[in-house]
Amino acid sequence: MAETKRDYYEVLGVDKNADDSAIKSAYRKLAKKYHPDMNPGDAEAEKMFKEASEAYAILSDADKRRKYDQFGHAAFEQGGGGAGGFSGFDFGGDMGDIFGDIFGDIFGGGRSRRANNGPMRGADIRASVRISFEESVTGCEKELELTLKDECEKCSGTGAKPGTSPQTCSKCGGKGQVIYTQQSLFGMVQNVRPCPDCNGTGKIIKEKCPDCYGTGYISNRKKISVTIPAGIDNGQSIRIRGKGEPGINGGPRGDLLVEVMVSRHPQFQRQDIDIFSTVHISFPVAALGGTIRIKTVDGEVEYDVKAGTQTDTRVRLRGKGMPSLRNKSVRGDHYVTLVIQVPTNLSKDAKEALREYDMESGNSLNQKVENAKPKKKGFMNKLKETLDEALDD
């Protein structure tokens, strides 16, 4: 009895409404996972690979997929469509590209890419610059010294000795790419790679320029001015267009990407466009209220502390945060956490005054009061009376 075939959509693990991209992606994963060269001697892996390849050969072809959706496996039985064996599969075109990717991975070449000897954009260059927290608020100008490549003036970037010209590569015929044919278990597979003789340029330089040694470029040390915008955050980058590596075959230069590193501030912490800090206040100011001075990125500002302020109270200074990179007219806020500072070096009289205050305000120290002699009202007694009156008001 013949073995019942699994549904092709089930084999690839895709929905029946999946588009071509999803089907191709699913097959790539299965082909790489079960390829016999990756699983030598594993009969089950080989079976899974054949099953996935068969399913993809049908579902990747619009006409075959239409027939399969209408008639199922019966559409390709009795020579009806070539799904009964690998001899009927078309491994060219898109399928060939997939096998090229697989074999590129297996044989150490990575994913194969079709070489292109036309104009190509140059690579980007990365650099970094450090600025202070204050400079991130106001913005600044920084100067970087970098080694940049410029087109060789003697050979005009060709790399060839003046009076000579690069010649067409004989190995690839000027295409910049060569096709390697590899034998697999299921037939010949073609893999396209850059030409090793001309490195994908399609040209061979017989006589190299004495100034650039055939590279077409001269490296020079240059100073680049970088404008750091106000509000930039740590780790963000600035793109300076046209200051990267030179293009290939007449292509445009790449860009210079400057990563900005903002130094930590001893008092301020940043979160998005808001700034946070902590300010210590004395107990009398917290209890009675008073004016304090708070340091911000714009300088010191005065703030009136309300009587009875508790420790860890957070106050908001509007518009004293960081400027927004997206909108120069917008600024964040500055949030200040007020912490009551407890004195550590009290005199004997001050300690006694605190004990008197504690006795009057609830005896949190649990002092014994039997036979206690009446004492003359001290500073803390007067302070408590003032506090009580202020709180009652």
CA of 371: how far to CAs of 139, 365, 366, 368, 377, in Å?
70, 18, 15, 9, 18
Residues forming a β-bridge with 303:
292
The interaxial angle of helices 379-392 and 348-361, nearest 10 deg, is 40
The model's pLDDT over 100-116, given as tens digits with 9 standing for 90+, comes to 555 544 444 444 444 45
Which amino acid is residue 295, in one-letter code?
Answer: K
Per-domain residue ranges of the chain: 8-106, 120-153+216-264, 269-340, 348-392
Distance CA(349)–CA(376), nearest Å, equals 13
Q: What pLDDT does residue 369 have?
A: 59
Whether 230 contacts 328, CB under 8 Å: yes
Look up residue 75 and give its two tokens: 């559409």
Hey, do 120-153+216-264 and 269-340 end up sharing a CATH topology, with the first three levels equal?
yes
Distance CA(179)–CA(196), nearest Å, equals 11
In CATH terms, 8-106 corresponds, of 3.90.1150.10, 1.10.10.10, 3.30.450.40, 1.10.287.110, to 1.10.287.110
For tokens 């970087």, the residue is: 144
The model's pLDDT over 46-89, given as tens digits with 9 standing for 90+, comes to 888 889 888 898 998 888 888 888 888 877 765 444 444 444 44
Q: What is the pTM of this model?
A: 0.56
Whether 296 contacts 317, CB under 8 Å: yes
Which amino acid is residue 296, in one-letter code?
Answer: T
Helix (H, G, I), strand (E, B) or coil at 144: strand
Residue 270 clears pLDDT 70, i.e. is over it: yes
- Spell out the CATH class of 269-340: mainly beta
Closest Cα partner for 136 from 46, 234, 281?
A: 234
For tokens 């190995």, the residue is: 171
The model's pLDDT over 155-194, given as tens digits with 9 standing for 90+, comes to 888 888 898 888 888 888 888 888 877 766 656 677 788 8
- Specify the CATH superfamily of domain 120-153+216-264: Urease metallochaperone UreE, N-terminal domain (2.60.260.20)
